[in-house]
Amino acid sequence: MLKGKDIIYFSNDWSASHRTSSHHIAQELMKNNRILYVETGGMRPPEISVKDLRRIFLRFVSWLKRVRKVNDNFYLYSMFIFPFHGRWAYRLNAWLNIFFLKRAMANLRFKDPILWFIAPHVSYLADSLPSGPIVYYCTDNMPQAPGADKNALERNVECLLRRADVVFATSEHLCNLLKDKKINSNIFYSPHAVDFAHFSKAQDVQLPVAAEINCLKKPVVGFVGNVEGWVDLKLIAHIARSKPDWSIVLIGQIRVPVNDLSCLPNVICTGYRKYDKLPSYLKGFDAVIIPFLINELTESVNPLKLKEYLAAGKPVISVRLPEVEKFKGLVEIADSYQDFVHKIEAAYKTDSADKISKRMESVKGESWNDRAEKVCDIIENAIKRKT
C-alpha cells in the first residue's frame, strides 16, 4: 500500500448522491497518504435550465471556498468551469484552474504529488502541474456517455493514456478498448470491490425494513442507483405493466425524463437516500434488478451495484453485460423484456437460505482495502521503474 505520498485526485463530487468506486478508493488512500480531492464538475456541457443554473451557482460557491480541510489527510477543492464554449473560454478555465491548483499545492506543501485521474476531461492538467507518477483510473467508457462531447473526450482519454505511468480499467471490455489504442502498455484490469460489512446488514434480523417501503404490496422489486440515460425505462415500465400487483421501487436521483413511469401507480421513485440507509431498503426487496440499455457505454460498465446486491444476499436479475456474466449461476441474466419478468418471478419464488449464503460468499473477500492494496502495489512498481 502507498504510504506517506501526496496525491491529487481528480474525480466527481465528494458529496455526490451515491458512493462510487472513486470515493471508496480515495477513502482507502487517505488512511496513509495526504489527498487533495479535486471535484472536477460534470463532463456534459450545461444547458439553459433551472437545474443546470443551480449546479453552476453551487459550483461557484464551492470554488470560492478554495481548499477545505476535511481531516489531517484529506483536503477538498472544487474546480469552477465557466459555462461558455470556444477556445477563449477553454483557455480561461484552464489558466484559472492551473493557477489555483498550483497555489493549493504550494500552500499544502505538496511536492511532486501523484496525479490520479478518474475524470478524463481535465487531462490538460497532466501536462500543466508538476508531478510524480500519473495514474489514470478509468471507470467508464466516458466518450459514449449520454450528452458527452465524444470527440473531445476521446482526445482527453488518449492524452491520459500517453501521459499516465499506470492505467487501470474497471471492466475487462474497457481494459481491452484502451489496450487496442496501442498508446500505453501498462494497462491493468481492476474490478470493483464492495463494502461487504455494510451491505450484508440487509440480512440482519434486527435491522428494520425502511418504513416507506415496509407496507408496499409484495413482491417488492428494487433498483438502487441514479436513473440516468443508460437505464432502460421501457424495460422498467414493461415489468410494472406486466405485473401490476408488484411494487417497483427506484432508489436514487431521477436525472432523465421518466414519462413512461410517472403514470404507473406501482412504480415508486424515492429519490436520493443516504448510503448508510441502503441496507434497510435492500432488506425489504424480494428481488433486485440491473435494467440497463445495451450499448457501447454499458458493454464496458462494471455495475458497482452488482456486488452490493450480492453482498446483501438478494436475487439479482440483469440484462446481459460482460461483467455480469462472470457471476452466471448467482445472477439471473435475461435476454428480452418478457424473459426479464419471468426471471424476476422465478428468482424470488425459489429463493432460499442456501442461495442467499452463496451470493454473499461470492463477494465476501472483495474488500475495498484489498482492491486499493493491489492497485497501490502496481503503482509502487511503476514508481520504482521511473526512479
Supply the CATH number for residue 120's domain: 3.40.50.2000
Q: Which residues pair with 114 in a beta bridge?
A: 7
Joined together, the cell numbers standing for residue 16 give 455526490
Residues 28 and 58 reside in one and the same domain = yes
Residues 289 and 380 reside in one and the same domain = no
Interval 240-276: pLDDT, tens = 999 999 999 999 999 899 988 989 999 999 999 999 9
Residues 12 and 136 reside in one and the same domain = yes
Q: Pairing relation of β-strands 316-319 and 287-290?
A: parallel
Residues 268 and 329 reside in one and the same domain = yes
CA–CA gap between residue 357 and residue 371 (Å, rounded): 23
Evaluate whether residue 1 is within a structural domain. no
Cα-to-chain-centroid distance, residue 85: 27
CB 114 within 8 A of CB 379: yes
Q: How many domains does the chain have?
A: 2
Interval 290-310: pLDDT, tens = 999 999 999 999 999 999 999
Interval 21-31: pLDDT, tens = 999 999 999 99
Helix axis angle for 233-242 and 337-349, nearest 10°, is 60
Residue 277 CB neighbours (<10 A): 11
Mean pLDDT of 167-184: 97
Domain holding 324, by residue range, is 196-363
Q: Which residues pair with 134 in a beta bridge?
A: 115
Q: What is the pLDDT of residue 90?
A: 67
Residues 63 and 165 reside in one and the same domain = yes
Residues 134 and 59 reside in one and the same domain = yes
CA–CA gap between residue 22 and residue 14 (Å, rounded): 9
CB 219 within 8 A of CB 348: yes
Residues 207 and 87 reside in one and the same domain = no
Cis amide leading into 265 (omega within 30): no
With a CB cutoff of 8 Å and minimum separation 6, the contacts of 10 are 38, 40, 115, 116, 117, 118, 119, 122, 125
Of 240, 237, 251, nearest to 283 (Cα)? 251
Q: What is the pLDDT of residue 58?
A: 53
Interval 54-86: pLDDT, tens = 555 555 555 455 789 999 999 999 887 665 555
Considering all CA atoms of the chain, what is the largest pairwise distance in Å, rounded to the nearest integer? 64
Cis amide leading into 208 (omega within 30): no
Mean pLDDT of 354-362: 98
Q: Which residues pair with 374 in a beta bridge?
A: none
Q: What is the pLDDT of residue 148?
A: 83
Q: What is the pLDDT of residue 307?
A: 98
Above 70 in pLDDT, residue 327?
A: yes
Evaluate whether residue 186 is within a structural domain. yes
Residue for cell digits 457501447?
A: 296
- Which of 209-218, 252-261, 300-309, 311-320 has the least mean pLDDT? 252-261
Residues 349 and 377 reside in one and the same domain = no
CA–CA gap between residue 159 and residue 183 (Å, rounded): 9
Residues 216 and 77 reside in one and the same domain = no
Using CA atoms, how far residue 77 sits from 35, 80, 113, 119, 216, in Å, is: 11, 10, 16, 14, 42
Q: What value does the mean pLDDT of the chain take?
A: 91
Evaluate whether residue 357 is within a structural domain. yes
Evaluate whether residue 225 is within a structural domain. yes
Interval 363-378: pLDDT, tens = 999 999 999 999 999 9
Whole-model pTM: value is 0.91
Evaluate whether residue 155 is within a structural domain. yes
Q: With pLDDT > 90 as the criterion, what percentage of the chain qualifies? A: 78
Evaluate whether residue 313 is within a structural domain. yes
Residues 35 and 127 reside in one and the same domain = yes
Q: What is the pLDDT of residue 41?
A: 76
Evaluate whether residue 22 is within a structural domain. yes
Evaluate whether residue 156 is within a structural domain. yes
Residue for cell digits 501498462?
A: 186
Q: What is the pLDDT of residue 79?
A: 84
Q: What is the pLDDT of residue 42?
A: 57
Residues 20 and 160 reside in one and the same domain = yes
Describe the strand order of the beta sheet including 316-319 as a list of residue ranges.
267-271, 247-251, 220-224, 287-290, 316-319, 331-334
Residues 213 and 357 reside in one and the same domain = yes
